[in-house]
Amino acid sequence: MAIPNAIKKTFNLPDGREISIETGKLAKQADGSVEVRMGDTILLATVVSNKEAREGVDFLPMSVDYQEKFASSGKIPGGFLKREGKLSDYEVLTSRLVDRALRPLFPSDYHAETQVFIQLFSLGENDLPDALAALAASAALTASDIPFAGPISEVRVARVDGKMIVNPDAKQLEESDIDMIIAATMDNIMMVEGEMEEISEEEMVEAINFAHDAIKIQCQAQLDLAKDAGKTEKREYNHEEEPDAELEKEIFDKYYQQFYDIAAKGLADKHERARLFSEIKDGYFESLPDETEISLTLAKSYLNATQKKAIRNATLETRSRLDGRKLDEIRPIWSEVDYLPSAHGSAVFTRGETQSLTTVTLGTKLDEQMIDGAVHSGYNKFILHYNFPAFSTGEARPNRGPGRREVGHGNLAMRALKQVIPSPEELPYTIRVVSDILESNGSSSMATVCAGSLGLMDAGIPIKSAVSGIAMGLISDAETGKYAILSDILGDEDHIGDMDFKVTGTEKGITACQMDIKVDGLSSELMMEALNQAKAGRDHIRNEMAKTIAAPREDYKPNAPRVVNIEIDREMIGAVIGPGGKVVQEIQKTTGATVVIEETEKGGKINVFAVNKESLDAAVKWIKGIVAKPEVGEVYDGVVKAIQPYGAFVEIMPGKDGLLHISEIKHEKIENMEGVLEIGEEVKVKLIDIDKKTGKLRLSRKVLLPKPEKEEK
């Protein structure tokens, strides 16, 4: 049955897979709604924006939520409630990717509350739907009357065996050395985020350009959809007061130079700079009469705009920055490891007025993070959490748990460090890194990367290489063509700049990146220049880190858990566990070690964890005794377990008894067992035979005794 007013456009990915975008069929009461379909994967994006802005709002109150329905993959949610609830970290991260690409393209004077909601309703096998979320959101906005300077789209780029792939499936991504999400309009790159296995700057730019070619096709499809839907005209709105050109000129002429002079002073203390800038603004408002007709809202806006222009021009013209640094100069760095004596690893990293205190904790397999999602499920052995308390910026506000920003910053640092962590097969620990930001003035996420790298080395984790990170900025003037690339940006420079580009890496290459661009027309050449300047900054920071600790410690801390891996045959798993878990529980209770047993393709794997060597050795010896195979000819220290008229049963290994026949106890003939051996007595015996049919063990004690000399007749 044909659906009235339903309009569909299709296009193909470079590998031939078809994607369709359709509007007019579902959720028609929203301002815009689009269904995106790729194979069996279906997302629905809806957008609603109020017609009027709330009084006093001078920003865009937009929320972007991406949610994956468990039914999309034939699952029922875990937990007590059995329904979708709070967004998972993965959904929050996807929401952030969409938000960061969309937000810069709304008019600066548009302040109506706006909601973008993307839902995954069907999931195709091996598909990764997060790469389609921004396409769906942008198409819904483009096919609505909401003011939006798009369209945009996002794609994931992977590289398998040297070949670039757009929107790879899950299997391809596992084999890839690049995992990047790139957002762009028809003309400009807007946002980049991803992780890489130590790739070069040239390879990164190549991946971005490759993505842009695919994005252009997706943007054109959205424009065609909007045209056929008759949504090329956008709504009229008036969310700000009428501009006052005379007031704007008056404020600019009077205060521009004052702001410029402060910006050009090069004051290192951000509080002192803020005080001087505030004095100018406060002085203006204090000079106004009580019954002024001037709009205070407009005046505040014009003062802020004048300050921003003055700071930008001062940087472009003096080639010096707010705090007096050169464009490529890194703030002073100091660091310290082993700062917290009870932690398994710890580090303080301070760069200028940004400081992270980071801890590393080692745990067992039982400490793994369980992931229960519609798309992703399983276990995570490397966890990184980032905390940003209010006092770090000199503010007072309640602590309400991590927000989206904290989740995003922590994820970026995790992806940066993940590339150098040994595989679970090489290092069976669960690792948790926690970064507590104690001071913040520019790129605390990159401080987290540096502190995390130092903390991991302090903990004795054999990481491949130290990782450092840096945040780059850009100030540009389209009219004059002047630009300034800034290394290690301040918070103020992030606010007034045109780019926030975070790059992490080792001496070999880039491990993660995050870029948000606020200006049109960032060329590949300029991006390459920024990346090369970032590399020099990363190298400098890493060299400063090496003065504190240059390589992982050779051993773990005394209080860190020790681990031994034991591979066993599959048929021995039950013997170690015991009936109802009796054996493994006894091992743990007696030795104090933690024993984790799992079945693998090869057989069984046992991880033994303990906080001291004695406990570890005792548990390992016990387990090896259970799984060891008796060998004919070997001598064992046995314990008498039972006595029979015909001999004694001696335990030579845990759970392995053999018969010590009465004839094998002594060279002399023994008539009966009375008084010969006692239960619990330790006796040294030799394994002389294993019955091939029954597996029963035959032991001998007399073969270990000297033969008595024959008496002379």
Nearest to 93 by CA among 130, 120, 124, 63: 130
* Token pair listed for 565: 């891996």
Print the SS3 string covering 551-573: CCCCCCCCCCCEEEEEEECHHHH
Q: How far apart are CA 115 and CA 507, in angstroms?
A: 43
Q: How far apart are CA 137 and CA 191, in angstroms?
A: 15
Q: Where are the beta strands (DSSP E) in 519-669?
A: 562-568, 594-599, 604-610, 635-644, 647-653, 656-661
Under a CB-based contact definition with an 8 Å cutoff, are residues 126 and 171 in contact?
A: yes
Nearest to 701 by CA among 667, 676, 657, 669: 667
Q: Is 372 annotated as a binding residue?
A: no
Helix, strand or coil, per DSSP, at residue 396: coil
Under a CB-based contact definition with an 8 Å cutoff, are residues 174 and 487 in contact?
A: no
From residue 458, alpha-carbon distances to 454, 465, 558, 611 in Å are 6, 13, 12, 17
Burial-class residue 694 by CB neighbours within 10 Å (0-12, 13-18, 19+): exposed
Cis ω before 151 (30° cut-off from 0): yes
Q: How far apart are CA 382 and CA 461, in angstroms?
A: 12
Q: Is 494 annotated as a binding residue?
A: yes
Q: How far apart are CA 698 and CA 661, in angstroms?
A: 8
Helix, strand or coil, per DSSP, at residue 257: helix
Residues in binding site for Mg(2+): 494, 500
Residues in binding site: 494, 500
